[in-house]
Amino acid sequence: MKQLLTIVFIGLVFGGCKQTPEEILSNIKKEMGEDPIDDKCYGDCENGLGGKKITLTNRYTFIGETFIGEWKDGKMAKGTLFVKGNNVEYKYEGLFKDDLFIEGTITHPDGSMYVGSFIKGKQSMGTFTNANGDKYKGMFEEGGCFHGYGTYTYANGDVYEGVFYLGKMKGQGTYTFGKGRNEGDTYVGEWKDDMKHGYGTYTYANGDKYVGEFKYNKKRGQGIFTDINGGVLHSGFWKNDKPINK
């Protein structure tokens, strides 16, 4: 009898333990499986933990969206959204407001990812890491392009810090070359469509320096070229990276 009471007591103490949120979500994911029923709630999709296959039409309509996580007033609050359809596939993990992303991580099948904030569900300020190792940290426009001030670090060590316009270097910026033919060189000046364009200063790793005009990535216009000691090697006009002697 004493042994039976002990077994019952142990069952009451340990058998009634609450599941952790992680355990609940894991079970919900298992119950949903690979092909959950459209609009069926698995768990609590009002004010609790639950999963559901849904379709959002805030801006784009995706097929096969599945959300697992916390819900508040019938809307997604915090969790993971799997998106696949219309040639788009990614996973978002983070916070939501009115079913829109506000802070979190987007991961693509190729390994590229974005970590940062969102405005009206669109990338705003954060870090994008490309599958090839390149990394951008800065501002974005709502279409996902680099836009505003930011820093782009290439896998080979090159670094551009400055202004972007719709995904391209445009405006004032500094480019430092990493490994390769121009290792150690630096350009500070104006850019257009990812090219040196306008007025700028190009400093070579050996100390030589060109200060003047550029057009479409080449020295063109008025400029002065000096050596490491400040000696003038050429002052005047340039065309296609070459001095013009008049």
137-175 per-position pLDDT tens digit: 999 998 789 999 999 999 999 999 999 999 999 999 999
Quote the CA–CA distance of 204 and 212 in Å, as a whole number. Answer: 14
* CB-facing half-sphere around the CA of 144: CA atoms within 13 A: 5
Quote the CA–CA distance of 157 and 159 in Å, as a whole number. Answer: 6
228-239 per-position pLDDT tens digit: 999 999 999 999
What mean pLDDT comes out for the span 184-211?
98
What burial class does residue 172 get, using C-beta atoms within 10 Å of its C-beta: 0-12 exposed, 13-18 middle, 19+ buried? middle
Beta bridge partners, 113, equal 107, 129
pLDDT tier for residue 222 given thresholds of 50, 70 and 90: very high
4-45 per-position pLDDT tens digit: 344 433 444 444 578 898 998 999 889 988 778 878 999 999
In 3D, which of 210, 163, 202 has the Cα closest to residue 184? 202
State which H helix or E strand residue 160 sits in. Answer: strand 159-165
Domains with residue ranges and CATH for the chain: 20-131 (no CATH), 166-246 (2.20.110.10)
Instruction: Report pTM.
Output: 0.84
pLDDT tier for residue 64 given thresholds of 50, 70 and 90: low
| pLDDT for the residue numbered 88 | 79
| pLDDT for the residue numbered 223 | 98
| pLDDT for the residue numbered 14 | 43
Query: Does position 3 have pLDDT exceeding 60, yes or no?
Result: no
